[in-house]
Amino acid sequence: MESQTVILALAALAQTSRLEIFRALVQAGPAGLTPGVLSDQLSVAANTLSFHLKELMHAELVTQERAGRHLIYRAQFEQMNAVLAYLTDNCCQGSSCLEPKALACDC
């Protein structure tokens, strides 16, 4: 994954409403959610929701599918996992980051 792709994804998530929308879609799983359900669930106006969904789609974090008269939005789990993998690549120089020594702090 290229760093520009990661930066685009992180920038898209660096806004409260978009982060909440993305988290709701992650929680919904592969079934996804319609804009109406998202709007009701998160108390976001339809036009605002549409703007944020477009930003998340541009960052390739969300997909859109038409099902009859409805649009279904889903989290793009492959992209989410790729961003997480990029962020944690070579974490702690190959050591477990959860070892007691790594967690010890002389703060």
What is the CATH number for 50?
Answer: 1.10.10.10
Per 3-state DSSP, what percentage of the chain is helix, strand, and coil (rounded to 5)?
65, 10, 25
Across the range 91-105, mean pLDDT stands at 63
- Report whether pLDDT(90) > 60: yes
Which residue has tokens 């982060």? Answer: 19
Calculate mean pLDDT across residues 76-85. 95
Statement: residue 79 has pLDDT above 80? yes
Six token digits for residue 81: 């996992």
Residue numbers of the domain that contains 54: 3-103
The answer to whether residue 101 scores a pLDDT higher than 70 is: no
- Residue 92 binned pLDDT confidence (cut-offs 50, 70, 90): confident
* DSSP-derived 3-state class of residue 30: helix
**Hunting for tokens 């109406």 — which residue is that?**
36
Question: Looking at the 3D structure of the chain, how many domains does it have?
Answer: 1
